[in-house]
Structure 1
Amino acid sequence: MKLEPSLRYSHTIMSQVIKSGDNVIDATVGKGNDTEFLSKLVKEHGKVYGFDLQKDAINITKKRLEKNNLNNTKLFNIGHEKIKEYVKDKINGAIFNLGYLPGGNKDIITKPKTTITAIKACLELLEKDGIIILVLYYGHPGGKTEKNTVIDFVKNLEQKEYSVLEYKFINQINEPPILIAIQKK
């Protein structure tokens, strides 16, 4: 066994929980890596809802999905704080990569208020044993504030309703990403 970086570990966790026919959310589509991964997990009978403020992210992801013949995804060019308005199905999982679009405009970042709104929406939609993964990238202006806000929020989730895991490497420099996993009991 080899310890996995946060992003890879997020996929390991998701692959153990999400199955064919499930409904899932990619709350921060980015370049479509998680969207494609989730689409393959839920297969043709499942559904992936993807959200991103940046039109470039949506376009890159659309092309990626088309190239791989993945047709089970609905992409929304809006912020994840609007999840509740667009997703009515119960979900089995959601994933967030918090920070900015790699290779994109570093001034466009996820924000604490909208992120908490999105997490709350996902918690309301989450089925029993479902999981929400948060990968926090915080080595940029505004990142530490969001990280602290998110960690404070998840630390206070009712332990009778949710199990919350924090996964991080403590001997790495340059703010290594932190993975938070929330599972509904």
Structure 2
Amino acid sequence: MKQVLTKVVKWGQELLSEVVQPGDLVVDLTAGNGQDTLELFRLVGQTGQVIGFDIQTQALLATRDRMVSAGAQVRLHQHDIQPLPSEAGIDLLAMSHTEIARVLPAAPKGVIANLGYLPGGQRELVTRPESTVSALEQTCSLLQAGGRLAVVVYPGHPGGAEEGIAVTVFFTTLDPVTFQVIQLTVSNRPQSPFLFVAEKII
């Protein structure tokens, strides 16, 4: 099906689908309402493992319901756990994505993040440059060779421009020997969301 050219979220999902296979371990750094989590589940299937992070209970419950409706086995963790067991299904964690290195059971093949705030949630609860960059640094260290990280940035909300600058600096300074990086922007709409995708070469 043809997708809208400027829907950068869909392009991020599409670029992950090129490398993620059934049975892989994948991560949603910002579970939100579960849209990306669902796409990851569709890629890895019943034999894969999807790990989703969010600090808002509302988001995790919405994601859980979406996953259950899709036929996934869901485990909701509202307490500290380290590390997670390597087990097929969906693990939803009520914690910051800055904990990714501590809880991941293995190297992920695909990781996605949709920054900003939870649609329909409290707009003051947004991702922050410091924690976002920390999570991205850890993710790049953990990622499998051949794996990809896709991040959608929303510069239009309060604090979004600052986060966008921090994320841009992060991706544009990644070691070119280790990572290939592309950026997708809507050139004639400067406040529109934009996408970074990094692929780990070695």
TM-score (norm 2): 0.88
The superposition leaves residues 46-71 of structure 1 with CA deviations (integer Å, 9 ceiling, x where unpaired) of 11110001000000001111111112
Aligned counterpart, 1:160: 177
Conservation of the 8 A alpha-carbon contact between 1:6 and 1:177 = yes
Aligned counterpart, 1:130: 147
The superposition leaves residues 95-143 of structure 1 with CA deviations (integer Å, 9 ceiling, x where unpaired) of 0001000111000000011111111111111111100000001211111
| 1:63 aligned residue (44, 49, 65) | 65
Separation (CA, whole Å) in 1 of partners of 2:102 and 2:175: 25
- Percent identity over the alignment is 33
Aligned counterpart, 1:92: 109
1:1-185 alignment, distance < 5 Å = 3-71=5-73, 72-172=89-189, 175-185=191-201
Separation (CA, whole Å) in 2 of partners of 1:70 and 1:10: 22
Deviation of 1:4 (Å): 4.5
Secondary structure of residue in 2 paired with 1:114: helix
Deviation of 1:45 (Å): 1.4
Structure 2: give runs of 5+ residues left out of the alignment: 74-88
Separation (CA, whole Å) in 2 of partners of 1:20 and 1:82: 25
Aligned residue identity for 1:8 = K
Name segments (4+ residues, structure 1) moved above 3 Å: none
Alpha-carbon RMSD: 1.2
Aligned counterpart, 2:79: none
Separation (CA, whole Å) in 1 of partners of 2:67 and 2:33: 11
**Which range is displaced more, 4-13 or 98-107?**
4-13
Aligned residue identity for 1:48 = V
Conservation of the 8 A alpha-carbon contact between 1:40 and 1:70 = no
Structure 1: give runs of 5+ residues left out of the alignment: none
